[in-house]
Chain A
Amino acid sequence: MPAIEPELQALKDNLLDMLSLVRNQMVKCKDAIRKNDLSLAAEVLEDEKKVNVQELAIDRDCENILALFTPVATDLRLVLATLKITNDLERIGDNAKSLAKFLINNKNDYPREWLGTFKLEAMLDVLISMLKDMGEALRESDTKLARKTTKRDEFLNDYNKKAMKTTAELMKDYPGDAKILLNLFSITRNLERAGDLTKNIGEEIVFHIEAKVVKHRKDQQ
């Protein structure tokens, strides 16, 4: 077994741990809404520190592997993909944090049914399942699953579009709540953005396994 093998395996394991941690932040956000339990939202904020520590550790491991093992081909692509995926995960974690903060800071400022109106739980469900499948795709080097999963980002785009309409309508009926409605809309935007970042992860998995760059297709011509 080449000396780089255990290093790459450890790198992949740590990346999967980080992915799992971020996914768990989304699960906690969903449960915080569903159970109306703000202690879970507080946990999401705490977890963010762990995510940041993980990101730094993985980046350092990537740097070491590049410097000490000079990887090529699929090994090099794994390291490059990992560097990008950690960055994506960290930003997805930031989006979970924004949602958790919103729940904590505005708990008495809006009717709870608005969380349902803005379909936050449904959006979180899509994100959680996307992150789960991306973890599976990475673990099993399954690019078919990665490709299939990236497509679910469209659901989040649709929710976000509808949220804009919802915001506009509610602002007419509740002009005094404009600020909180804009905050809610910005949460849906964050979740939609988290979907884009999850899609990026799928693209990085395809790059790692197949050496194909699937992003910015039109600009590649």
Chain B
Amino acid sequence: MKHIEAKNVNVYYGDNHVLKDITLSIKENTVTAFIGPSGCGKSTFLRTLNRMNDYIESFRKKGKVYIDGKEIYDKKVRVEELRRQVGMVFQKPNPFPKSIFENVAYGLKIHGITNKKEIEETVEKSLKQSALWGEVKDILNKPALSLSGGQQQRLCIARTLAVKPTIILMDEPASALDPISTAKIEELISELKEKYTIVIVTHNMQQAARVSDRTAFFYLGDLVEYEKTSELFTNPRHKQTENYITGRFG
């Protein structure tokens, strides 16, 4: 379950039409970046992909979102299971006020895994995958909140990886981090793409250019352009895209 397909997706918050007829397809094992000015709908669309918007009372959606051919808004879909398969990393690192180990093990326990050895192995594997193991292997029982911002974000990625998702959604995952931590997250994204499908929302256009295979530019709820990243940043087809990426917006 890795391939994402959105068909004519419209999203409303009350009377506010925030996503307009979005149709887009994301291939498996790729990194896709969503860019656009604040309020363009990119984060809303990202959250539509694992039903995070369900909590918003005024949220309404039309159109279909398929993941590996299955409509994720179908009544039969268990939302918890969907979110296990479609993990999410947020802008601000949000570890639980627990130990490093417990943070990564938490999701496993929630999903009913009790075998200690299995939990330990998964924690180690996830921390290795998120390139944090070397830095924390001797302090696993220390509070997660004692880690630096960059380490906390990688811990959150490890926590997401532990429950074996196939798709990882990232909402501005490096915007609160220093350049070195940002570089580590970007490097990690490139490595993770071998096994996962990654969708990232970023305001940092150089970051979108560096990490993604394809880029989607949103503006006022419309998907203006969705292209190979190398093409979009060198020869955008739409004037609006060009104005945005060259900083001549508005």
Contact = CB atoms under 8 A, between A and B. Distances in A.
A3 B247 CA distance: 9
Interface stretch (A18-26, A66-74, A134-142, A193-201): A66-74
A16 interface: no
Among the interface residues A2, A5, A73, A211, which one has the most CB atoms of the partner chain B within 10 A? Answer: A73
A75 B235 CA distance: 11
Contacts of A74: 242, 246
Contact of A2 (B205, B234, B246): B246
A70 to B, nearest CB: 6
Given A211-B234, A211-B235, A73 B206 contact: no
A162 B209 CA distance: 52
Interface string B236-250: 100000100111100
A97 interface: no
Contacts of A77: 234
B233 A4 contact: no
A198 to B, nearest CB: 25
Interface residues of B, number: 12
A5 B248 CA distance: 9
A199 B227 CA distance: 32
Nearest to A71: B246
A148 B85 CA distance: 58
A178 interface: no
A35 B209 CA distance: 57
Interface residues of A, number: 13
A71 B233 CA distance: 9
A77 B242 CA distance: 12
Nearest to A1: B248
B247 A73 contact: no
Contacts of B233: 72-73
B250 to A, nearest CB: 11
Nearest to A80: B234
Interface in A76-111: 76-77
B236 A4 contact: no
24 contacts: A2-B246, A2-B247, A2-B248, A3-B247, A4-B246, A4-B247, A5-B248, A71-B246, A72-B205, A72-B209, A72-B233, A72-B234, A72-B246, A73-B233, A73-B234, A73-B235, A73-B236, A73-B245, A73-B246, A74-B246, A75-B246, A76-B234, A77-B234, A211-B235
Given A4-B246, A73-B234, A76-B234, 11 more contacts: A5-B248, A70-B206, A71-B246, A72-B205, A72-B209, A72-B246, A73-B233, A73-B236, A73-B245, A75-B246, A77-B234
